[in-house]
Amino acid sequence: MRVRFAPSPTGYLHVGGARTALYNWLLARKSADSVFVLRIEDTDLERSTDEAIEQILDSLRWLGLGWDEGPLRQTERSERYAERLAALVASGDAYWDVATGDDVKKAKEATGGAGYRGTPVAEGTEGAALRLRVPDEGETVVDDVIKGTTRFENRLLDDFVIARSDGSPLYNFAVAVDDLEMGITHVVRGDDHLSNTPRQLLVLKALGGEPPTYAHLPLLHGPDGKPLSKRHGAVSVQEFESSGFLPEAVRNYLALLGWGYDATTTFFSTAELVDKFSLERVSRSPAVFDEQKLRWMNGQYLREMDSAELAERLREYLRANDRPGADDPRLERATLAVREKISTLDEFDNLVGFAFRPLELDEKSWNKVMGKEGAGQALVRAREALAAVEPFDEPGVERALRAVVEGLGTKAGAVFQPLRVAITGRTVSAGVFESVVLLGRDETLTRIDAALERLGAATP
């Protein structure tokens, strides 16, 4: 089995493309002798820069979807196309024609929608493009694993252009040639190509090649029901990465967008996906990308992970995104403090970032908590307790602080919230005991003192 994935070199792999890549990859990984081929559709020279291609490759690598062959660029194969083009002219399957798009449109209007048939002119005629001769009778049948059989009447199909006046090949011709010459057996791609397929089939037939197995995936839509696209809400793989999603969670989520194994299974390891995935079970209708569900699933993966490994992932993530804490010896402790709370690696910083950088006081949080009756006294007592507690670990700190609460006869929050704001600067953070221990005794006392000072100045 030879499976190919053919991204456009836009420098941007979005969710839809990522899912298509994943399905291709899963299919290719099912048997040991299968080959996953990467073919770049870069006939459009404007955007197919090396940099744009490299970004696509990076996204595939991050997703863990390695390829066996390629990336092959269309632009590198011009002599192959020229040869095939010449063969089609020689056999009479293609001919030069001077008609423009407008001419074709007019001709179709005149015939009531029948396919355009051109008039051959000599090669080299000014403005002549090469068209494929489509049979007048019969039909071109697309057999699709997902969509079933679709029939296209040949008489309604235009003799379409396969090469420009300058001899450069067009997409529908180039893919067909590549699929044939690369021995591709499975083409899994977006639904939007279904109407192109008869054209590729016609080229293949003229070339004397056997068609591959086709599978056309329904497109992914946004929350508004419109197809996802670069300019319309599509999240890129790079954004998944920088937002702190795990590739394995993204793979699991993407696999489920348009495919289901049974009535209840939601979590699939990648090995299970490879084993259980099949094109036959892919849904025929479009799916809507739901980031909330991805977040939920990512959180599940995070919590499932061994804490040493999670710490390692966090370290890499913090480094890559210039967040403090990556090289701090307290990283593992901080990981333990957040692992039940975060759903993306990105959220680590919100909950424990305070321990790795100077205090940043959020005024709103301060006003909300420190204005309350007894906040100052609670802080004074907490300070005394924390200055004396031994050992300075979570159980010890908890005992000491709960004793303060009891001594004051208040609710736990009346002590914990002022303390939280004093040491983290905000009302939202990891648990207070964990936060205190993470900060360390000295820094905790220093920050409480600073808060008390500020409080004193505010309340004469």
Q: How many residues bind RNA (CB under 7 A)?
A: 85
Under the binding rule (CB under 7 A), the answer on residue 409 touching RNA is no
Q: How many CB atoms lie within 10 A of CB 273?
A: 22
Contact (Cβ atoms closer than 8 angstroms) between residue 401 and residue 419 = yes
186-190 and 2-5 strand pairing: parallel
Q: From 47, 63, 59, select the one nearest 10 (Cα to Cα).
A: 47
27 versus 342: smaller Cβ distance to RNA: 342
| String of contacts with RNA for each residue 307-346, x by CB under 7 A | ---------------------------------xxxx---
Distances (CA, A) of 167 to 76, 82, 87, 321, 416: 15, 7, 13, 47, 75
The 163-202 contact track toward RNA, x by CB under 7 A, reads: -xxx---xxx------------------xxxxxx------
**Which residue in the set 18, 134, 318, 430 belongs to the binding site for RNA (CB under 7 A)?**
430
Q: Which residues of 145-279 form beta strands (DSSP E)?
A: 148-153, 161-163, 186-190, 213-217, 220-221
User: Candidates 83-91, 123-131, 201-209, 315-323 — which segment interacts with RNA by CB under 7 A?
Assistant: 123-131
CB of 33 to RNA, least distance (A): 29
Interface with RNA includes 119 (CB under 7 A)?
no
The verdict on 226 binding RNA (CB under 7 A) reads yes
- 368 is an interface residue for RNA by CB under 7 A: no
Distance CA 166, CA 153 (A): 30
Pair 297, 240: CB distance under 8 Å? no
Specify the residue, 77 or 420, whose C-beta has the smaller distance to RNA: 420
CB distance 354 to 328 below 8 Å: no
From residue 342, give the alpha-carbon distance in Å to each of 210, 296, 337: 51, 10, 10
Q: Which of 175, 178, 168 is nearest to 200 (CA)?
A: 175
Residue 424 C-beta: closest distance to RNA, Å? 8
Task: Give the β-pairing of 69-73 and 35-40.
Answer: parallel
Residue 33 or 51: the one with the smaller Cβ distance to RNA is: 51
- Smaller CB separation from RNA, 304 or 316: 304
Task: In angstroms, give the least distance from the CB of 235 to RNA.
Answer: 14
Amino acid in the structure at residue 151: R
Closer residue to RNA (CB): 353 or 431:
431
Amino acid at 294: L
Is residue 420 a contact point for RNA (CB under 7 A)? yes
How many Å separate Cα 159 from the centre of its chain? 38
141 is a site residue for RNA (CB under 7 A): no
Which range of residues in 256-264, 355-363, 441-449, 451-459 is near RNA by CB under 7 A?
256-264
For the segment 28-87, give every residue that binds RNA (CB under 7 A).
Answer: 41-44, 74
Q: Which residue from 13, 21, 22, 129 is in contact with RNA, where contact means CB under 7 A?
A: 129
Of 22, 334, 351, 379, the one binding RNA (CB under 7 A) is 351
- Nearer Cβ to RNA (34/398): 398
Report if residue 403 touches RNA, rule: CB under 7 A.
no
